[in-house]
Amino acid sequence: MPLVLSFYSSLTPFRLTKPETFFVFTGYRNYWNILSSLDFWIAFGRTILLLTVALNLEMLLGLGLALLVEKASRGQRVLRTIMMFPMMFSPILVGFQFKFMFNDNIGLVNNALQSLGLINEAIPWLIEGHLAFIAILVAEIWSSTSVFAILILAGLLAMPREPVEAARVDGCTAWQTFRYVTWPFVMPFAFIAMTIRSLDVARAYDIVKIMTDGGPAGRTELVWTLVARTGYSDAKMGLANAMAYFSILLSILFTVYFFRKLAAARSLPAGDGLCLLATLDRTAPIARVSFDADGTGGFVTCFAGRPEVLVVAKSTAAGAIRAAAATPERLAGTLAQLHPWTAGARVVRTDIADWGRDPWSRGAFSYPHVGALWAAPVWAEPIGDTVFFAGEATHGSRGPASVHGALSSGLRAAAQVLEALGR
């Protein structure tokens, strides 16, 4: 009922001082007036600016805090509790707190800067327009960074350790480990936090009302402070409700945007990859593991005294192996280029695990890409109950899927594949 009445009033020239105007229907006149109102568009743009800057800084700071707390070896529970403190304060209390801190005469910020000798005169934080906006931004970031920190920390704590350990073994730098392993896993958590916070910032009112009340001279006026001023100070409730419904579009647009980002972060981009096990009519004289860097064959393994050759290929290498596997003769010729001892051998049997949703094949390492360790059970199509990736086997029917051989050499991983197939 309140929504119906407020929407109806947005179609009338309703003024609090003239109750009879509630029954005068004017259609979309208020909305047309909004479109031509410079004050509304300035407040609308300022709200988007605050939302954009605050969300990005909160995400960066929250990510940093989450990484630091996750690395803490002692007192992690205490740190998590302390990290949640800013969320416990009412926005009105935060507004009063920062209004005092940025006071130009007795504020903590000016006193600290003067004590350090950084300034000689007090800075008018809440009097000058740009500085007042910065002060509001600081208050918003302080009060809500913990939302990002807690959600991202939850993602970090839920992340399996095997991919990070594999990255270290494979010689990845700290940045590579974060970029290709940690961040893809915690990205959905970050977008959830962004969705929540975008709704909060888009309807920001309390902190701005307490700290500056939209001043000085409207330099910090946001959409909802303008709505309140129009509805209660100017008594134009019909126009104020029209502004409110129009500004809801901001929240809807940002929510849709972040939900799409969240869906994209949770989905796996299409790629290409396959695992091929070729059985020859002769046995290998030596055990050998090779990585064909030019993209012809991918990762190739053979065992002394065994007739099998295991090939795991991705991207262009997968296409080349798939084309070669069309006939035993072509496959034998390709294997002869990769392992010379197979020259003249005949392929008597071929087993292929072929999948089309390898999220790491585009521009990733063929063997072994660290991020694929936790992704493999999601996208690979198994042979029987076994999922293959870069010579590593995951037994899906034996309890929770776990990657075997992630830290082993290619020979050991290939041996596990043969064992899984009962060879």
Phi, psi for residue 378 in degrees, rounded to 5: -80, -40
- Most confident listed range (71-85, 131-145, 361-375): 131-145
- The pLDDT score that the predictor gives to residue 377 is 38
Question: How would you class 263 by CB atoms within 10 Å of its CB: exposed for 0-12, middle for 13-18, buried for 19 or more?
Answer: exposed
Q: Which helix (H) or strand (E) holds 312?
A: strand 308-314
- The pLDDT score that the predictor gives to residue 159 is 82
**Model confidence at 373: pLDDT above 70:** no
**Model confidence at 369: pLDDT above 70:** no
* Model confidence band, residue 412 (pLDDT cutoffs 50, 70, 90): low
168-206 pLDDT per residue, tens? 765 677 887 888 778 878 888 888 888 888 888 877 888
302: β partners: 288, 309
**Model confidence at 419: pLDDT above 50:** yes
Instruction: Give dist(CA 3, CA 15) in Å, integer.
Output: 18
3-state helix, strand, coil in the chain (%, to 5): 55, 10, 30
Instruction: Give dist(CA 354, CA 326) in Å, integer.
Output: 13
**Model confidence at 371: pLDDT above 70:** no
Whole-angstrom CA distances from 254 to 55, 139, 146, 263, 264 are: 11, 22, 20, 14, 15
109-137 pLDDT per residue, tens? 999 998 888 888 889 999 888 899 999 99
Q: What is the pTM of this model?
A: 0.65
Residues 6+ apart with CB under 8 A from 310: 275, 276, 277, 300, 301, 302, 391, 414, 417, 418
Cα–Cα–Cα angle for 285, 291, 295, nearest 5°?
125
User: In order of start, what are the domains of the chain with their CATH numbers?
Assistant: 19-266 (1.10.3720.10), 273-420 (no CATH)
- The pLDDT score that the predictor gives to residue 99 is 92
